């Protein structure tokens, strides 16, 4: 394994959450994780502690580790925080974006479009969330970028929990309009489009958790397996 076991576990769990393969409430059994990632329980426990610090895993005494189950109130709070953070990030981006930055965003939106066209839902979900993270990388503020990474991951968990199997995705047409505003240096329009986009995503989620009990080994596989 090229990565340290803890990094591989954390990365695998976060990726599965981002792609809506790991749902809220799923138990992360220590023995299962040891077998999947060919490591010992000390590695697993350190990884689970890291995931708990990121608020995507809940450690319960005498019961074990579970993917966090956000309440409706927590879901609303996460989206409210995303709006606040992403508006500041977008303002930074539009004031300093280069032609190369705009080209990178347009290329990403095209990848989203191709994933949708090919009905590759898993890749479309991944790319949809990645668009927002790219804006965070471009904003020039590492603290905001870190906050956004946590919020995007938590909202991915919320979407997977409070929606059916055909969970709503960010529309690549909305992403394209956001990129257009950045390219034009139109800060006011960009603020409107970011606000509309995030509220649209929040409204598209029905606050009704799904019931799923998948086999952890069917979801998480060690790299290269």
Residue 78 contacts residue 158 (beta carbons within 8 Å): yes
3, pLDDT greater than 80: no
Mean pLDDT taken over the chain: 88
147, pLDDT greater than 70: yes
pLDDT band per the 50, 70, 90 thresholds, residue 210 = very low
How many C-beta atoms lie closer than 10 Å to residue 146's C-beta? Answer: 11
pLDDT tens-digit map of 45-68: 999 999 999 999 999 998 999 999
Q: Residues 6 or more apart from 225 whose CB is under 8 A from it?
A: none
Q: Which domains are delineated in the chain?
A: 4-69+212-220 (1.10.10.10), 72-203 (1.20.120.530)
pLDDT tens-digit map of 114-123: 998 898 888 8
1, pLDDT greater than 50: no
């Amino acid at each position: 394994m090229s990565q340290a076991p803890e990094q591989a576990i954390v990365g695998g769990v976060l990726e599965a959450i981002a792609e809506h393969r790991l749902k809220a409430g799923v138990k992360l059994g220590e023995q299962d994780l040891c077998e999947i990632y060919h490591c010992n329980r000390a590695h697993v426990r350190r990884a689970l502690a890291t995931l708990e610090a990121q608020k995507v895993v809940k450690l319960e005494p005498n019961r074990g580790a579970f993917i966090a189950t956000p309440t409706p109130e927590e879901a609303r709070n996460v989206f409210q925080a995303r709006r606040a953070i992403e508006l500041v990030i977008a303002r930074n981006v539009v004031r300093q974006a280069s032609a190369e930055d705009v080209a990178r965003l347009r290329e990403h939106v095209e990848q989203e479009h191709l994933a949708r066209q090919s009905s590759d839902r898993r890749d479309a979900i991944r790319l949809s969330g990645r668009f927002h993270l790219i804006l965070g990388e471009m904003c020039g503020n590492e603290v905001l970028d870190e906050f956004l990474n946590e919020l995007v991951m938590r909202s991915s968990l919320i979407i997977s929990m409070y929606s059916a199997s055909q969970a709503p995705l960010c529309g690549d047409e909305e992403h394209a309009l956001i990129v257009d505003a950045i390219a034009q240096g139109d800060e006011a329009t960009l603020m409107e489009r970011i606000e509309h986009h995030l509220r649209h995503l929040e409204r598209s989620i029905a606050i009704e958790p799904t019931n799923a009990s998948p086999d952890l080994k069917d979801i998480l596989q060690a790299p290269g397996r």
